[in-house]
Amino acid sequence: MDNDIVPVALEKAYRLLNLGATSIVSAEFGGESDAMPAAWTCPLSMEPFRAAAVVDGPHFTRRLIDESGMFALQLPTAGIARATLALGSVSKNDDPAKLEKSGAHFFFADGFRLPLVEGCAGWMIFKVVPGEERNAKAHDLIIGECVAAWADARVFANGHWQFEEAPPSLRTLHYVAGQHFYAIGEAVNLD
Amino acid sequence: MDNDIVPVALEKAYRLLNLGATSIVSAEFGGESDAMPAAWTCPLSMEPFRAAAVVDGPHFTRRLIDESGMFALQLPTAGIARATLALGSVSKNDDPAKLEKSGAHFFFADGFRLPLVEGCAGWMIFKVVPGEERNAKAHDLIIGECVAAWADARVFANGHWQFEEAPPSLRTLHYVAGQHFYAIGEAVNLD
């Protein structure tokens, strides 16, 4: 793992999602892996840190989540906006070489088999919470409990986002539609 | 309603939430109303446009939602950051004059009794989806179907966010922690 990537304490990891940035969801099962953008995510609780992500049933990634019981959410930055879109523009059901062609680069955290996307601002690995089959079926809502989290220390440290001193390419992406995002902007501090 | 406030077609209204901005949730029942910030929201489907928001059981707002079956989500801007925090810093359970003291100003849309917060970038009114009692109880997750939506046409038009030409005070807020937000920033357009 990159020197800038540092662990995030699980009790502070929900703050990675507070910002409302677009995420990439990734998963692995039986030697197959996939990753796709998911703009629709939501923290559910802080301790334990649980979160929900909408991953539609037909997606290749969804099958890997359902079969492995694990998924990762990671927060792509402006620097990898094009690869992020590429991961959403084709299904691995249609192109088995999707990941290789996307321009995204992957790495692995010790003890986990899920591919993680390089160049993100934060990474979270979740174990699917049992007993939530109805949410998966009715809403395509996958609920997980975070078991490990990391961040790029240049933009997230001591449980807080801090983009001011970092390169603009490390700013999180917030999805509009089509091929359009906004990067996160100026701090609004009221204390 | 203000001249800049225009209706948003329901099939495009999910894009108001795509950006991941912090919201204010408001509700009304029996002549009582309340509003509070809610950073944890998530679209669930586009047509019909359904969304979920985490509103903890003890909140005054939650009781109004449970009893009325209605709630509004609206997206505060940098210009009303201080009032947004004020709405989250005290419970109406403790101070019945919370809304009046917050600095927030409210208006009403024709045909609805919920208070809407002036100075937001977008507003959505939801009817609680029946049969979701378990999500409310287990996760404090309130699921609604959008019945009306509006946006400030200076920042959202034709189904797209467009902050470039608008005053910075109209930028959406993205919550960090404590009294800290980031405003939405620069466009990242890849087409």
Subunit contact A174:B18, Cβ cutoff 8 A: yes
Sorting pLDDT into bands at 50, 70 and 90, what band is B1?
A: low
Average pLDDT, chain A: 96
pLDDT tens track for A106-127: 999 999 999 999 999 999 999 9
Whose structure tokens read 């801007």? B77
Q: In this structure, what DSSP letter does residue A172 have?
A: B
Identify whether B145 is part of a domain. yes
Domain membership of residue A28 (yes or no) is yes
Query: H/E element holding A139?
Result: helix A133-139
**In this structure, is residue A100 part of a structural domain?**
yes
Half-sphere exposure of A187 (CA within 13 A, CB side): 16
Per CB-CB distance under 8 Å, the chain B contacts of A143 are: 139
A78 in contact with chain B, both atoms CB, cutoff 8 A: yes
The pLDDT, as a whole number, for residue B3 is 80
Judge whether A188 lies within some domain.
no
Q: Residue B159: its chain A contacts at CB < 8 A? A: 177
pTM: 0.97
Residue from A174, A175, A191 whose CB has the most chain B CBs within 10 Å, to mutate: A174
Could you tell me the pLDDT band of residue A3, with boundaries at 50, 70 and 90? confident
> Is B44 part of the contact surface with chain A (CB cutoff 8 Å)?
yes
Average pLDDT, chain B: 96
Residue of A15, A40, A134 lying closest to B42 (CB–CB)? A40
Between A19, A52, A189, which is nearest B174 by CB?
A19
ipTM: 0.95
Asked if the Cβ–Cβ distance from A188 to B184 is below 8 Å, we say no
pLDDT tens digits, B43-61 = 999 999 999 999 998 899 9
Q: Residue A6 pLDDT more than 80?
A: yes
Instruction: Report yes or no: A114 and A69 within 8 Å, Cβ to Cβ.
Output: no
**pLDDT bucket at A1, cuts 50 / 70 / 90:** low
**Quick one: pLDDT band at residue A38, thresholds 50, 70, 90?**
very high
pLDDT of residue A154: 98
CATH number of the domain residue A116 falls in: 2.30.110.10
Report CB contact under 8 Å: A176, B18.
Answer: yes
Residue that is written with structure tokens 């502070």 in the block: A12
B residues 126-155 closer than 8 Å to A (CB): 134-135, 139-141, 143
Give the number of domains in chain A: 1
- The predicted model gives B118-143 an average pLDDT of 97
Residue B56 lies in a domain: yes
Nearest to B15 among A15, A177, A188 (CB): A177
Do B107 and B120 touch, CB atoms closer than 8 A?
no
Q: Give the range of the structural domain holding residue B38, as residue numbers without chain letter.
A: 10-183
A69, A132, A146, B72, B113 from A143: Cα distances, Å: 10, 7, 10, 24, 33
Q: Is residue B109 part of a domain?
A: yes
Q: Tell me, what's the pLDDT at B2?
A: 75
Residue A3 resides in a domain: no
Please list the alpha-helical segments (H only) found in chain B: 14-18, 60-68, 81-89, 98-101, 133-139
Q: Is residue A122 part of a domain?
A: yes
Q: What percent of chain B has pLDDT over 90?
A: 97
Question: Taking CB atoms and an 8 Å limit, are A45 and B191 in contact across chains?
Answer: no
